[in-house]
């Protein structure tokens, strides 16, 4: 691990230990069955840490080989993070087929637009491009997630506390990563090219905080899987559910369900 400060190495060890604990809770509580993609995401981070440990010992911290392997593995875990977030959102909105149809489209469009715009100014060398791509990813991911959460909050869809903790953790980590990359870009422009240690400190510290929240939250049993309601069942269910699910939500779901699946109403 030559080239990494001692405190970064200790943070790395603690981060891996927390990830292993989160995985253990997922399997011990049986939550991995309900959250298979989220479980794969946490496991991928453990595998990435092991791969980087070997890479840094073989090639050092700042070599081209280390940078290529590190950011390639980071790209794989980031894609899993997007899919894991979609998995959690689907579990929340599964009973409301119309609102889920709107939710995943909001997530996809917001992510695609923001990420594309953030990459317009990325053609200034490998390090500059990687930094902007990473910042753009987290910025797009955070905005898309917040847009979906605002949609859920506005229409008062109930969210289980475990799912709140998972989505909140994803959002917080992306905000911390955007901050780290933005500060790093400013330092790079001012001639301070070596900001890797600071970036590691901010992102790893934020991720460890998120892991602690997840570790506590995932000890709570997950709710029973919600069955997707058919159109007539949804009409009855909305009137029988908690007052939090108001007339506005019922009408929105009905209209969206008709829009995304016109063949259902025709039949």
In whole angstroms, give the CA distance from residue 259 to residue 256: 5
Among 167, 180, 102, smallest CA distance to 141 is for: 167
Indicate if the pLDDT at residue 20 is higher than 90. yes
Indicate if the pLDDT at residue 10 is higher than 90. no
Percentage of the chain modeled with pLDDT above 70: 69
User: What is the predicted pLDDT for the residue at 197?
Assistant: 67
Cβ-based neighbours of 221, under 8 Å, separated by 6 or more: 29, 31
Q: What is the mean pLDDT of the chain?
A: 76
User: What is the predicted pLDDT for the residue at 244?
Assistant: 47
Instruction: Work out the number of other CB atoms within 10 angstroms of the CB of residue 45.
Output: 21
Reported confidence tier of residue 70, pLDDT bands at 50, 70, 90: confident
Q: What is the mean predicted confidence (pLDDT) over 96-107?
A: 78
Q: What is the mean predicted confidence (pLDDT) over 72-95?
A: 85
Among 178, 119, 168, smallest CA distance to 145 is for: 168
Higher pLDDT, 113 or 131: 113
Reported confidence tier of residue 39, pLDDT bands at 50, 70, 90: very high
In whole angstroms, give the CA distance from residue 195 to residue 130: 14
The first and second tokens of residue 136, run together, are 């753009």
Cβ-based neighbours of 218, under 8 Å, separated by 6 or more: 22, 25, 26, 29, 31, 162, 165
In whole angstroms, give the CA distance from residue 46 to residue 44: 5
Q: Is the dihedral of CA 69, 21, 219, 32 positive or negative?
A: positive
Contact 81, 134 (CB under 8 A): no
The SS3 of residue 3 is coil
The SS3 of residue 229 is coil
For the chain, the residue count is 267
Higher pLDDT, 123 or 55: 55
Instruction: Work out the number of other CB atoms within 10 angstroms of the CB of residue 173.
Output: 20
Cβ-based neighbours of 14, under 8 Å, separated by 6 or more: 208
Cβ-based neighbours of 146, under 8 Å, separated by 6 or more: 171
Higher pLDDT, 251 or 55: 55
User: What is the predicted pLDDT for the residue at 17?
Assistant: 93
User: What is the predicted pLDDT for the residue at 75?
Assistant: 74
In whole angstroms, give the CA distance from residue 118 to residue 135: 8
User: What is the predicted pLDDT for the residue at 190?
Assistant: 67
Domains of the chain: 6-226 (1.20.1070), 229-267 (no CATH)
Q: What is the mean predicted confidence (pLDDT) over 58-75?
A: 73
Phi, psi of 160 (to 5 degrees): -65, 145
């Amino acid at each position: 691990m030559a080239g990494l400060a001692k405190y970064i190495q200790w943070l790395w060890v603690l981060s891996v230990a927390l990830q292993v604990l989160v995985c253990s809770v997922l399997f011990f509580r049986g939550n991995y069955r309900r959250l298979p993609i989220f479980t794969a995401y946490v496991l991928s981070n453990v595998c990435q840490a092991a791969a980087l440990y070997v890479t840094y010992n073989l090639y050092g911290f700042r070599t081209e080989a280390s940078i290529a392997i590190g950011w390639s593995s980071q790209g794989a875990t980031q894609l899993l993070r997007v899919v894991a977030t979609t998995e959690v959102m689907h579990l929340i909105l599964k009973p409301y087929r119309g609102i889920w149809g709107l939710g995943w489209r909001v997530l996809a469009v917001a992510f695609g637009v923001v990420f594309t715009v953030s990459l317009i100014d990325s053609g200034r060398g490998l390090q500059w491009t990687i930094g902007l791509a990473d910042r753009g990813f987290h910025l797009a991911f955070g905005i898309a997630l917040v847009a979906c959460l605002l949609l859920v909050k506005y229409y008062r869809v109930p969210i289980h506390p475990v799912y709140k903790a998972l989505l909140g953790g994803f959002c917080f980590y992306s905000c911390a990563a955007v901050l780290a990359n933005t500060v790093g870009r400013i330092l790079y422009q001012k001639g301070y090219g070596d900001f890797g240690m600071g970036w590691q400190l901010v992102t790893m510290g934020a991720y460890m905080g998120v892991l602690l929240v997840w570790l506590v939250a995932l000890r709570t049993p997950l709710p029973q899987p919600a069955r997707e309601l058919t159109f007539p069942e949804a009409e009855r269910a909305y009137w029988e559910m908690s007052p939090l699910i108001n007339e506005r939500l019922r009408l929105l779901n009905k209209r969206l369900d008709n829009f995304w699946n016109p063949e259902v109403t025709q039949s």
